[in-house]
């Protein structure tokens, strides 16, 4: 039995825990605390099981059309993926040669590094977009694909569209702007993706966060037709199942519902941030549905993470050099955030 060398030595991505108990307050994977549009429930209730006898539309045509309309893009410029994670795997295959590398901010979505390892190419992180991307050491490959999360995860930091446009203009390869959390932010970069003359920027979104559909697995991206058609060439034949296509269509068609929930999350984020700051936490201003927060001096983030878990409150801890002092806390309902604050009152030393 032979396993490819790069797969044998790969450490796989560790997603946030999905506890089986529903009693847990789950603030560890940036899911939405509110349900998806009632139109999604309607579709599920009326979906005829007999339809599953047939393969789904390989190009998710209706969904693709609806997304194109919402994003003011041409249909040919829209790709629908099995979650945005599928799109990340596809761009790594489509836009990176074996002797090239994938770049991203550091810290950023930790899956990027794994995506590069699975693709068997190098990954390099930079702290700011102004930093040089050129290979510094012997053996370093040039970066041909840059995965730029905005707002960034796990920090929640926001970058203006002008900064992203300037970066992309100078970058010789493909820039994928990962806007998983853009509906919770003050803006987005979709205009760069849909602009005439754009030849290297793709903007990616997911239905997992603002649309409350993490369990469905639908994401999409928009960019130059040439790049998008490359993704269609290499995707699985039927990458979006029939139920997901129908439910996702109902969700994106109900923009009002999504926006209302995003506003509720933003309002709770503001209140929760203020409560943490009042209690001596250092909170990076967030434009996302989570905050990246450092407990008051004298308290180790990892200890707080473990103590909260014992109390049935799950948050996320990343034990890396740039992340180990903070916790990433998803914004839930006001009541969940109050319970978290209450739990920290007992365990935080001040």
Ligand X SMILES: Cc1ncc(COP(=O)(O)O)c(C=O)c1O
* Shortest CB 266 distance to ligand X, Å: 17
Site for ligand X contains 85 (CB under 6 A): yes
Site for ligand X contains 118 (CB under 6 A): no
- From candidates 60, 104, 150, 206, binder to ligand X by CB under 6 A: 206
d(CA 45, CA 200): 41
Site for ligand X contains 149 (CB under 6 A): yes
At 227 the three-state DSSP class reads helix
- From candidates 208, 299, 330, 344, binder to ligand X by CB under 6 A: 208
Site for ligand X contains 323 (CB under 6 A): no
Site for ligand X contains 180 (CB under 6 A): yes
d(CA 249, CA 79): 14
Decide if 104 contacts 97 (C-beta within 8 A). Answer: no
Site for ligand X contains 288 (CB under 6 A): no
Site for ligand X contains 183 (CB under 6 A): no
Concatenated DSSP letters of 147-215:
EEESS-TTT-----HHHHHHHHHH-SSEEEEE-TTGGGSS---HHHHHSTT--SEEEEEESSSTTS-TT
* Shortest CB 214 distance to ligand X, Å: 6
Nearer to ligand X, 238 or 318 (CB): 318
* Shortest CB 35 distance to ligand X, Å: 17
Binding piece for ligand X, criterion CB under 6 A, among 62-70, 78-86, 220-228, 324-332: 78-86
Place of tokens 């037709």: 225
d(CA 30, CA 195): 30
Site for ligand X contains 327 (CB under 6 A): no
Site for ligand X contains 281 (CB under 6 A): no
- Residue numbers 217-256 binding ligand X by CB under 6 A: 219
Site for ligand X contains 153 (CB under 6 A): yes
Site for ligand X contains 182 (CB under 6 A): no
d(CA 350, CA 331): 24
Q: Give the ranges where the chain is alpha helix by DSSP (H).
A: 5-8, 38-46, 61-70, 84-94, 111-119, 161-170, 190-194, 225-234, 242-253, 255-278, 301-310, 334-347
Q: E strands along 121-173, which residues?
A: 122-126, 143-149
Nearer to ligand X, 151 or 343 (CB): 151
d(CA 220, CA 226): 16
Site for ligand X contains 188 (CB under 6 A): no
- From candidates 83, 173, 224, 332, binder to ligand X by CB under 6 A: 83
Decide if 232 contacts 64 (C-beta within 8 A). Answer: no
Site for ligand X contains 268 (CB under 6 A): no
- From candidates 168, 192, 214, 293, binder to ligand X by CB under 6 A: 214
Place of tokens 């009326």: 46
Binding piece for ligand X, criterion CB under 6 A, among 69-77, 79-87, 239-247, 326-334: 79-87
Site for ligand X contains 84 (CB under 6 A): yes
Which H helix or E strand runs over 209?
Answer: none
- From candidates 59, 178, 183, 287, binder to ligand X by CB under 6 A: 178
d(CA 109, CA 155): 10
Sign of CA dihedral 235, 231, 183, 281: positive
Site for ligand X contains 28 (CB under 6 A): no
Binding piece for ligand X, criterion CB under 6 A, among 77-85, 192-200, 232-240, 322-330: 77-85
User: What b/e sequence results for 51-72 when a residue is b if at least 16 CB atoms lie within 10 Å of its CB, and e otherwise?
Assistant: eeeeebeebbeebbebbbeebe
* Shortest CB 109 distance to ligand X, Å: 4
- Residue numbers 54-73 binding ligand X by CB under 6 A: none
Site for ligand X contains 292 (CB under 6 A): no
Query: Would you tell me which residues interact with ligand X (CB under 6 A)?
Result: 30, 83-85, 109, 149, 153, 178, 180, 206, 208, 214, 219
């Amino acid at each position: 039995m032979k396993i490819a060398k790069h797969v044998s030595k790969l450490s796989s991505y560790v997603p946030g825990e999905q506890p089986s108990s529903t009693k847990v307050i789950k603030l560890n994977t940036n899911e939405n605390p509110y349900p998806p549009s009632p139109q999604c429930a309607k579709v599920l209730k009326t979906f005829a099981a007999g339809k599953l006898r047939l393969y789904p539309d390989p190009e998710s045509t209706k969904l693709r059309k609806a997304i194109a309309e919402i994003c003011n893009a041409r249909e040919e410029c829209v790709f629908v993926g099995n979650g945005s994670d599928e799109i990340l795997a596809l761009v790594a295959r489509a836009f990176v040669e074996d002797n090239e590398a994938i770049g991203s901010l550091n810290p950023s979505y930790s899956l990027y590094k794994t995506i590069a390892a699975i693709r068997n190419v190098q990954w390099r992180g930079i702290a700011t977009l102004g930093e040089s991307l050129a290979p510094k050491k012997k053996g370093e490959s040039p970066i041909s694909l840059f995965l730029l999360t905005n707002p960034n995860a796990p920090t929640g930091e926001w970058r203006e569209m002008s900064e992203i446009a300037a970066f992309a203009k100078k970058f010789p390869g493909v820039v994928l702007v990962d806007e998983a959390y853009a509906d919770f932010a003050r803006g987005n970069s979709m205009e760069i993706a849909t602009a005439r003359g754009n030849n290297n920027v793709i903007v990616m979104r997911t239905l997992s966060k603002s649309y409350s559909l993490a369990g469905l697995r639908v994401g999409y991206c928009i960019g130059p037709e040439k790049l998008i058609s490359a993704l269609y060439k290499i995707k699985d034949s039927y990458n979006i199942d029939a139920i997901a296509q129908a439910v996702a269509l109902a969700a994106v068609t109900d923009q009002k519902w999504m926006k209302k929930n995003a506003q509720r999350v933003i309002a709770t984020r503001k209140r929760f941030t203020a409560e943490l700051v009042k209690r001596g936490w250092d909170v990076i201003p967030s434009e996302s549905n989570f905050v990246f927060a450092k407990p008051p001096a004298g308290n180790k983030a990892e200890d707080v993470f473990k103590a909260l878990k014992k109390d049935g409150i799950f948050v996320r801890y990343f034990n890396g050099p740039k992340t180990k002092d903070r916790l990433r806390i998803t914004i839930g309902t006001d009541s969940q955030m109050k319970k978290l604050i209450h739990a920290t009152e007992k365990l935080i030393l001040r």
